[in-house]
Structure 1
Amino acid sequence: MSEITPQGDSPFIEGFTLSDVRLANGITLRVAMGGEGPPLLLLHGHPQNHLAWRKIAPQLAQKYRVILPDLRGYGDSDKPPSDETHRPYSKRVMADDISLLIEALGWERVAFVGHDRGARVGHRLALDHPEKLSCCVFVDIAPTATMYALTDKTFATRYFWWFFLIQPYPLPETMIGHDPALFLRKHIDGQLKTPGATSDEIFNDYLRCYQNKAMIHAVCEDYRAAATIDLDDDAQDSDKRIESPLLLLWGEKGTVGQLYNVVDTWQDKARHVQGQALPCGHSPHEEVPELFLSQLQCFLDSVL
């Protein structure tokens, strides 16, 4: 049985309330919600939490019921133990969380937007629970298997954490835990190409979560899963396609935009693909929110 426990108003996103939603699998996710209308679920990436959507959520809430979860392991959501297979932090299990959340909130289908890790969870959600999604928007990613298969020195240098975080416990956990603020600042400043896109107030909330040793371990497990069991799951489902309309948005100044033809990387993963580069780095919704919102709204108007 699911259970929703109110946690008061969001201190950062006007008009949104916070709730802890206990899912049927026993996991509790922190969720911010606001607005009325068709459901629109937005899922953040690493190293952020649901506050990554703060600049666009109030505008979207004028038309949609906007749902902003923290991924398992991130923010104020549960951080369950993992195991040697990393299955508890596989995208399949994380996608199951989101499927159960949709049910717990009383919806049959949602429009989905995912950034970074959230988009990778969305990819798996679209394959395992296609009936739950009316459309998908993936922000600044190419498929995980594609990015690993095309790894070269440039990618490994720019995305070093893909190879650092997957090292066996406790090496990355210990090194990050020595100075979480340094790691977090270097990560965000390296990824985002728009100065000031993350205010000190928001950075401090990201850091509040990142200082939790359980989150540091969960993050490492997320990436360890991506380099192992997620690749196995993707290989087994190589014949499956995302059936719902898919919009790709990415930053032309970021690693993904500079190293890949983003739309081409998804052509054999989805049946209906379109995409657009935006003048920013890894986090368009934080760096160029008005442009991002315009592209997103145009897509949603065309498919819903």
Structure 2
Amino acid sequence: MPLAEIPLCVWRTRGLNFSFRGQTIRYWTAGQGEPLLLIHGFPTASWDWHYLWTPLAQRFRVIACDMLGFGDSAKPLHHDYSLLEQADLQQALLAHLQVEQPVHLLGHDYGGSVAQELLARHHEGRAQIASCVFLNGGLFPERHRPLLIQKLLLSRLGWLVGRSFGRDDLVRNVTQIYGPCTHPSESALDDYWSLIASNRGTRILHKLITYLPERVAHRERWVGALQADGVPLRLINGAVDPISGIHMLERYQELVPDANTVMLQGIGHYPHTEAPVQVLRHYLAFREQPLVNVPQRVAWS
């Protein structure tokens, strides 16, 4: 049975605000129980989790925010955006909500890199992470295959590329990274565009894209966090994603001890919107197992 959608107009009414370093951040929380932090990807926002939000909130205390520069949060123009600062933001949100117990993480794409930083902080004694599940993302930058638009945003003319980026460009790029049978509807594309364009967001796309070289700079520490013992991990991966699909899963299996992975056949870069029922099933199965490192296995779906 398909999961119910939360329309963006409804999602927006449920958000709350808090201040992070003088900037307004939009966040959402629901449910009770163990805290589960959902961390979205680039260039969208926390609405990406809307199919999973209600079923997860029936079991856990779910928490998500539009990170700085994304969605309906502040998008300051003269700002140097950083994955490290986004990890600071996630910890500040948890402190704002008075979450003191270890937190479970579910991160996608850009949010997966933020989760890697939080995982590294856990192993350094600066965060408390209970478990971490990754959806498609550039966990190993040497296997990440950026789109042309991402390369252009990183160029000297990136500011111009970003300011000229429009809905048609979004559609053209999104159709490249979804599965062949799971493309978003026109209505969903309108909503994605609304979140990107909110607060004149196209002016800062070239600043947000600096996460790509930042991944390279922190690669050893972040991969080391994946290889360390003590925090249960799983990768749920859309296999046909051209950016970080099966080639990223294979690298994960090469480098992560006792790699716990799930491959979703025919699914692209956004498993949680393309195949939310499967993602929910595989996430809940992960949470139901004992919180210890488990032997290597690959699930197919």
Q: TM-score, normalization: structure 1?
A: 0.80
Partner of 2:296: none
1:142/1:211 CA distance change after superposition, 3 Å: closer
How far did residue 167 of structure 1 move? Answer: 1.1
Partner of 2:184: 198
Partner amino acid, structure 1, of 2:275: V
Q: 1:188 aligned to 2:174?
A: yes
State the alpha-carbon separation in 2 of the partners of residues 19 and 237 from structure 1.
31
Q: 1:251 aligned to 2:238?
A: yes
How far did residue 37 of structure 1 move? Answer: 1.7
How far did residue 275 of structure 1 move? Answer: 0.7
Q: Deviations over 1:176-210 (max 9, x none)?
A: 43341011111221111154653333322221232
State the alpha-carbon separation in 2 of the partners of residues 122 and 222 from structure 1.
17
How far did residue 51 of structure 1 move? Answer: 1.1
1:59/1:211 CA distance change after superposition, 3 Å: same
State the alpha-carbon separation in 1 of the partners of residues 232 and 184 from structure 2.
30
2:282 to 273, 284, 295: 295
1:163 to 151, 157, 164: 151
Q: Deviations over 1:78-124 (max 9, x none)?
A: 223456xxxx3221111111111111111122111011111111111
Partner amino acid, structure 2, of 1:167: S
Partner of 1:17: 14
Q: Is the 2:134–2:236 contact (alpha carbons within 8 Å) kept by the matching residues of 1?
A: yes
State the alpha-carbon separation in 2 of the partners of residues 136 and 126 from structure 1.
8
How far did residue 22 of structure 1 move? Answer: 1.5
1:173/1:181 CA distance change after superposition, 3 Å: farther
State the alpha-carbon separation in 2 of the partners of residues 55 and 238 from structure 1.
30
Partner amino acid, structure 2, of 1:165: L
Q: Is the 2:75–2:199 contact (alpha carbons within 8 Å) kept by the matching residues of 1?
A: no
1:199/1:31 CA distance change after superposition, 3 Å: farther
Partner amino acid, structure 2, of 1:91: L
State the alpha-carbon separation in 2 of the partners of residues 201 and 303 from structure 1.
40
Q: Is the 1:82–1:221 contact (alpha carbons within 8 Å) kept by the matching residues of 2?
A: no
How far did residue 10 of structure 1 move? Answer: 6.9
- State the percentage of identical aligned residues: 24
- Which blocks of at least 5 consecutive residues in structure 1 are unaligned? 1-8, 149-154
1:68 to 51, 54, 64: 64
1:266/1:35 CA distance change after superposition, 3 Å: farther
State the alpha-carbon separation in 1 of the partners of residues 41 and 254 from structure 2.
20
Q: Is the 1:71–1:118 contact (alpha carbons within 8 Å) kept by the matching residues of 2?
A: no
1:139 to 101, 110, 135: 135
Q: Is the 2:162–2:204 contact (alpha carbons within 8 Å) kept by the matching residues of 1?
A: no
Partner of 2:268: 281
Partner amino acid, structure 2, of 1:68: A
How far did residue 139 of structure 1 move? Answer: 0.6
2:252 to 250, 258, 263: 263
State the alpha-carbon separation in 1 of the partners of residues 222 and 162 from structure 2.
34
- Which blocks of at least 5 consecutive residues in structure 2 are unaligned? 1-6, 292-301
Q: Which runs of 4+ in 1 moved over 6 A?
A: none
Partner of 1:106: 98
Q: Deviations over 1:119-151 (max 9, x none)?
A: 111111211245331111111124243336xxx
State the alpha-carbon separation in 2 of the partners of residues 272 and 81 from structure 1.
43
Q: 1:47 aligned to 2:43?
A: yes
RMSD: 2.7
SS of the residue 2:58 aligns to: coil
State the alpha-carbon separation in 1 of the partners of residues 64 and 217 from structure 2.
29
Partner amino acid, structure 2, of 1:286: T
1:186/1:66 CA distance change after superposition, 3 Å: same
Aligned residues: 276
SS of the residue 2:18 aligns to: strand
State the alpha-carbon separation in 2 of the partners of residues 303 and 29 from structure 1.
35
1:193/1:129 CA distance change after superposition, 3 Å: same
1:135/1:219 CA distance change after superposition, 3 Å: farther
SS of the residue 2:210 aligns to: helix
Partner of 2:111: 118
Q: 1:57 aligned to 2:44?
A: no
SS of the residue 2:208 aligns to: helix
Partner of 2:297: none
SS of the residue 1:292 aligns to: helix
State the alpha-carbon separation in 2 of the partners of residues 99 and 143 from structure 1.
21
